[in-house]
Amino acid sequence: MDKLHEQITKLREDFTKGTLSEKDVKQNPFEQFENWLAQAVESQVPEVQAMTLATASKEGIPSSRIVYLREFDNNQFWFYGNYQSRKAKQLAENPNASLSFFWPALERQIRIQGTVTKCTDAYSDNYFNNRPYESKIGSWASAQSSEVSSREELMQKVEELKKHFSADTIKRPEFWGGWILKANYYEFWQGRKSRLHDRIVYELEEGSWKIKRLNP
C-alpha cells in the first residue's frame, strides 16, 4: 500500500495540447459549450456525454455521481433518472446544482452551475419511449438508492416485470423522469504546462454574460 501511495504522489502530467484566450472564445457560453462538445465528439472522446452531477441537501451535505447529458438547448441541460433517488431528494430540497465534463484526451474541463427543475411529462415520456426495452424494464425494477438484499432479488424483479410488460405496452413509471439545469455560470478549463492552466468563466449578471479569466 505504501508503494501505491508513493506512486500516486509522484504522478504528474504536463498539459500541452491547447490554449484558451478571452479573445478566442465565443461571446455566448452556450455556443462555446457546443463548440467544445463538437470537437470532443469529432475526436471520439470516450463517454463524451458523461458528466458529474453535484447536488447538496438542505443542510449542505454534498453528493456527486456520473449521469449522461441527453439534451441541451439555450443554456439548458437535460438528464434523467429516478424521482425517488438521492439526487432527486436533494434537488427537491436544494435546486442548486453543478455539472462537470472532463475530457482528458483534449486536456479540457467544463464546469456549469445553475438551478434545476423537473422536465414536463411530455419530455420525460418522449425520452423514455426511445430507450431500449431492457433499459425501460430497469427503470421499473430499480428503487434507485434504496437497499436491496441481493443481486438475485433485483434480477427476479426484472424477470417478473418482463412477464407483465411487453415492448409495446411498457410506459414510463411516474417515479422516473427528467430534470433540466438552467445555467447561470460556466467555466472552460484548458490544461497548460506547469499547472498554469487557462480558466475562462462566464457569469450571468443582470441578464448579460460577463467573461473573466481566473488564476489557475
Spatial separation of the C-alpha atoms in residues 40 and 108, rounded to whole Å: 9
CB burial class (10 A; 0-12, 13-18, 19+) of residue 139?
A: buried
Spatial separation of the C-alpha atoms in residues 44 and 149, rounded to whole Å: 39
- The number of beta carbons lying within 10 Å of the beta carbon of residue 107 is 18
Query: Three-state DSSP class for 111?
Result: strand
Q: Are 29 and 186 spatial neighbours (Cβ–Cβ below 8 Å)?
A: yes
Helices (H) and strands (E) in the chain, counts: 6, 9
- Short-list 209, 181, 182, 215, CA closest to 26: 209
Q: Which of 86, 108, 195, 213 is catalytic?
A: 195
195 is catalytic: yes
Spatial separation of the C-alpha atoms in residues 207 and 1, rounded to whole Å: 52
Residues in the chain: 216
What residues act catalytically? Answer: 195
